[in-house]
Amino acid sequence: MSEATQGSVETVTFTLNDREITVPKGTTVMAAARLKDVYIPHFCWHPGLKIAGVCRFCLVKVDNRPKLEIACNLTATPGMKVSSVLPEVKEAHKWALEFHLVNHPLDCPICDQAGECKLQDYYMEVGKYKSEMDRPKVLKPKALDIGSELVLDTERCILCDRCVRFEEEVTKTGALGIFNRGDRAVVGTYPDKKIEHNYQDNLVDICPVGAFTSRDFRFKQRVWFLKDKPAVCPGCSTGCHVDVYAKPQVRSYFRLKPRESAVNGFWMCDKGRNTYKHMNQEQRLRFPLVAEGSVARRKTTVDEALAALVGRLLAANKEDVALLVSAQYTCEEYKTLFDLFVVKLGVSKVYQWREPTEDLKAFDGLLYRGDHNPNTRGLSEALKAAGLPSEVNNGFDELVRQAPPLVIALGPEVAFQFPSLPAQLKQLEQLPFVSLWTIDGAAANYAGLKHLLPMKGFAEKRGHYLNFEAKVGELADPFPAGSDDARDVTEVVAALGDLFAHSL
Ligand code: SF4
Ligand code: SF4
Ligand code: FES
């Protein structure tokens, strides 16, 4: 019950719900509660934004003080005794909720936020159930188009101000404000301003109710039917930590959301949010396609496709074989690939496959980087470990110029980040034999590609990426692959290794 120093950090010890807790000096009761996994109901407070203190919902009782106080703006002091569970506190929460619901429509059954709405959740917990409100609700504008990724329903807004602060503090675009007063107050954009940045869907994440909904996700699926697993966004070299939401029983992916981490804080960008779509059925390559001799390319099994590739490799000199590798695979996949082809089989021609228009130095100042690959660092490290040149370069044109007889190409997973991909696939079609390992279903449109293997997506495999500053991003808990024939590089290489062992 004192002020003390732990290492170089001054600390404060106080009591929350009869539990003694120690936090750095200056910590608010709300932040302290979060640090110690104690939950205090709140709407306007968010750990990634400044304190606003506007919702008056996070009320707590401090011993020997006459009135309840808001935990989000209450600094913990030594010996303070705080409760968030006393009956008088619960009663205050109940009335605060009643107030928030004065003008909030009761359209939960048709609201896209149902299932993850804080207002709904709290009401289930401490709601009055018998409202004392007998006046008609104030109606406000609905389904407003205020950004390319967003729909705003101002009627559902509880004026928590989170979105306004996000625009001011995080993106610094200041597009939103709360206009008018009293029950006419309404959230909206300033005249002539639209929300145009690459971080729009964070507004959906932080809005505690269904006022902001995502154009991409709304009405596609009820959230309680979805399963989520942690992964890393493959959209750029920042490697934001994310949760992937899917319905594995029908092999469908629905959305990505940011997962709090030291890499990305609480946010992710909209481009990154789109990096789930290529794993869905309609966009992915679902089975191998192989052309043999004069027989036209046809659908085949993975075993047959691998046997055909091994046959080609056995018939080729190691000088005839080249690898073309994009930086969109895991460190583990690169290691197994180079162990087999470079170390064991002696292949020395390894080319990096990069998007020619990318600007490696580009950075938007928040998260999004010009290197649109999740594992450029990991590929460099793996090349170095295999004794190959490891500096980042684009070897695509050189490979096409050399036109080796047998190319094994690890295609980019996130095709939309490779605008030159269609033109590049056309060039690969002209080469004698390319085995393209890819998840991109559009590759099947290039009939000159003689050997296509379907790959798993980032949410379907284990491994890790190294981001731009070599921080590890783990893929540890995969969904089942979206097609029975999909493999990761490690699995393909292991199968090829077995086939070689039996053939030599
Ligand atoms: S739109 Fe959502 S985040 Fe913005 S003020 Fe209203 S409730 Fe809060
Ligand atoms: S900043 Fe990069 S890693 Fe983060 S969400 Fe966007 S694309 Fe994905
Ligand atoms: S969370 Fe404290 S006043 Fe809103």
Global pTM? 0.95
φ, ψ of residue 306 in degrees (nearest 5): -70, -40
For CA atoms 125, 128, 129, 131, the dihedral sign is: negative
For residues 463 and 477, what is the distance between their CA atoms, to the nearest angstrom? 10
The ligand 3 atom at the shortest distance from the C-alpha of residue 45 is: 1
Q: Which letter, b or e, does each residue of 22-59 get, where b requires 16 or more Cβ atoms within 10 Å of its Cβ?
A: bbeeebbbbbbbbeeebebbbbbbbebbeebebbbbbb
Per-residue pLDDT, 4:
58
Per-residue pLDDT, 322:
98
According to DSSP, residue 113 is labeled T
The set of protein residues with a Cβ atom below 6 angstroms from ligand 1 is 157-163, 187, 206-209, 211-212
Per-residue pLDDT, 7:
61
Q: Going from the N-terminus, what domains does the chain have, and what CATH number goes with each?
A: 3-100 (3.10.20.740), 108-113+134-219 (3.30.70.20), 283-503 (3.40.50.740)
The ligand 1 atom at the shortest distance from the C-alpha of residue 161 is: 5
Please provide the size of the chain in residues: 504
Which residue type sits at 369?
R
Q: Does residue 41 contact residue 57 with C-beta atoms inside 8 Å? A: yes
Per-residue pLDDT, 503:
77
Output the tens digit of pLDDT for each of the chain's 504 residues: 345 555 678 999 999 999 999 999 999 999 999 999 999 999 999 999 999 999 999 999 999 999 999 999 999 999 999 999 999 999 999 999 988 988 888 888 899 999 999 999 988 888 777 777 788 899 999 999 999 999 999 999 999 999 999 999 999 999 999 999 999 999 999 987 889 999 999 999 999 999 999 999 999 999 999 999 999 999 999 999 999 999 999 999 999 999 999 999 999 999 999 999 999 999 999 999 999 877 889 999 999 999 999 999 999 999 999 999 999 999 999 999 999 999 999 999 999 999 999 999 999 999 999 999 999 999 999 999 999 999 999 999 999 999 999 999 999 999 999 999 999 999 999 999 999 999 999 999 999 999 999 999 999 999 999 999 999 999 999 999 999 999 999 999 999 999 888 876
For residues 246 and 204, what is the distance between their CA atoms, to the nearest angstrom? 18
Per-residue pLDDT, 2:
46
Residue 475 is inside which H or E element, if any? strand 472-475
Residue nearest (by alpha carbon) to ligand 1 atom 3: 207
Pocket test for ligand 3, best of 49, 56, 67 (most atoms within 8 A of CB): 56
3-state secondary structure of 368: coil
The phi-psi region of residue 64 (left if phi > 0; otherwise alpha if psi is between -120 and 50; otherwise beta) is left
Q: How far is the CA of 49 from the centre of ligand 2 (A)?
A: 20
Residues 6 or more apart whose Cβ sits within 8 Å of residue 229: 243, 244, 246, 459, 477, 478, 479
Which residue type sits at 437?
W
Give the number of the ligand closest to the Cα of residue 52.
3
Residue 99 is inside which H or E element, if any? helix 87-100
For residues 383 and 394, what is the distance between their CA atoms, to the nearest angstrom? 14
Q: Does residue 334 contact residue 325 with C-beta atoms inside 8 Å? A: yes
Pocket test for ligand 1, best of 116, 163, 166, 195 (most atoms within 8 A of CB): 163
Per-residue pLDDT, 6:
57
Give Dmax (Cα) for the chain.
90
For residues 215 and 92, what is the distance between their CA atoms, to the nearest angstrom? 36
Per-residue pLDDT, 140:
93
Q: How far is the CA of 492 from the centre of ligand 2 (A)?
A: 28
The ligand 2 atom at the shortest distance from the C-alpha of residue 238 is: 3
Per-residue pLDDT, 487:
98
Per-residue pLDDT, 144:
94
The ligand 3 atom at the shortest distance from the C-alpha of residue 42 is: 1
Pocket test for ligand 3, best of 29, 46, 72, 97 (most atoms within 8 A of CB): 72
Give the number of the ligand closest to the Cα of residue 29.
3
Residue that has been written with the tokens 């690459």 in this structure: 198
